[in-house]
Amino acid sequence: MAEYAVIGAGSWGTALARVLSKNGHDVTVWSIMEDEINMLKEKHEHLQKLPGVKLPESMKFTTDLKEAIEGKDMLVLAVPSIFTRSTSHSMKEYVTDGQLIVNVAKGIEEDTLMTLTDIIKEEVPQARVAVLSGPSHAEEVGKDMPTTLVAGADTKETAEYVQNAFMCDFIRVYTSPDVLGIELGGALKNVVALAAGMADGLGCGDNTKAALITRGIAEISRLGIKMGGKPETFAGLTGIGDLIVTCSSKHSRNRRAGQLIGQGYTYKQAMDEVKMVVEGVYSAKAAVGLSQKYGVSMPIVEEVNEILFSDKPASDAVKDLMFRDKKTEAQTLKWGE
């Protein structure tokens, strides 16, 4: 039996901790919030983030970061992306050489334009770092609904270790060496999901949603490939797969926040209403920064930023997207002679 720690007790961290425990592993969950840990100890259920999902009695809970980390075979870092750097920094003194950290959050750091795995590597250089991502809402994982994920790492051995830890009768895990592509797909789809939600809030239909998903993955792929990600990744689970579920699901906090913004809320009001971290808001500026750095056109991402941070009405953004200069769909396709 392996010993694992999940650092972060939000909905996704709690759901994954339950999976690891049900797989027969010794699992400790850490949170910085004492009230949250006391609730988990007493109820063995996260009443706010994952109500109705009972956690195994064998799971342990702590606010002591040293206790959570020391001696563990794998650390699952499940804090919101905006806290990845600060939490990694706090973890550094307790992490031993070669200890495995698996990032399961999705985002890009606004100031540095770094992916989350790169942040972890910078803050905890002695660790091995991997990523676990894919189209997966905690609410469904908590109910044992079939889910597929991708474990990405620099070595096949590390990716397969993560695969084996999480694989079960309702979670199928694939492996991939394209850590960068996985990270970019997971972060950038949240920005497009905000746009999809805005379209819902404006009363647009299925045609609009399909267009946003399709043109959204085109933008994500253009940037991701320019940065070194692989086309297969953006056509797979952590690209188009994650984008589809986040743009469409009732569980998607990014889609829900976008819907409220489309109805006239500011992004701050929308985040307050959703009552959870809306990762796409934090990744939106970083996405524009990356598009400018690498010279990649991302009109949907640009319009989302205008709506979020420059008070542009969502209805005007739709018009501007529709009346852009005429284009061909795929630049690589050539007309016959």
75 domain residue, yes or no:
yes
Q: Cβ contacts of residue 77 below 8 Å, gap of 6+?
A: 7, 8, 84, 87, 88, 91, 101, 102, 103, 104, 105, 120
> Is-catalytic flag, 189?
yes
336 domain residue, yes or no:
no
Residues 254 and 287 sit within 8 Å (Cβ to Cβ): no
E strand map for 203-284: none
Is residue 128 located within the same domain as residue 142?
Answer: yes
Structure confidence by residue, pLDDT tens digits, 194-219: 999 999 999 999 999 999 999 999 99
β-partners of residue 129 are 101
332 domain residue, yes or no:
no
Supply the CATH number for residue 204's domain. Answer: 1.10.1040.10
Is residue 76 located within the same domain as residue 169?
Answer: yes
Residues 278 and 271 sit within 8 Å (Cβ to Cβ): yes
Taking only the tens of pLDDT, the chain with its 337 residues reads 899 999 999 999 999 999 999 999 999 999 999 999 999 999 999 999 999 999 999 999 999 999 999 999 999 999 999 999 999 999 999 999 999 999 999 999 999 999 999 999 999 999 999 999 999 999 999 999 999 999 999 999 999 999 999 999 999 999 999 999 999 999 999 999 999 999 999 999 999 999 999 999 999 999 999 999 999 999 999 999 999 999 999 998 899 999 999 999 888 888 888 877 788 888 999 999 999 999 999 999 999 999 999 999 999 998 889 888 888 888 888 888 5
- The CA distances from residue 302 to 158, 195, 205, 241, in Å, are 37, 11, 22, 22
Looking at the structure of the chain, the number of domains it has is 2
Which of 189, 209, 230, 285 does the annotation list as catalytic? 189
Domain boundaries, position 55 = 3-177
Is residue 197 located within the same domain as residue 285?
Answer: yes
* Domain end among 120, 145, 177: 177
Phi, psi of 83, rounded to the nearest 5 degrees: -110, 10
Is residue 245 located within the same domain as residue 275?
Answer: yes
334 domain residue, yes or no:
no
Is residue 164 located within the same domain as residue 188?
Answer: no
Residues 29 and 16 sit within 8 Å (Cβ to Cβ): no
Supply the CATH number for residue 64's domain. Answer: 3.40.50.720
329 domain residue, yes or no:
no
Is residue 173 located within the same domain as residue 269?
Answer: no
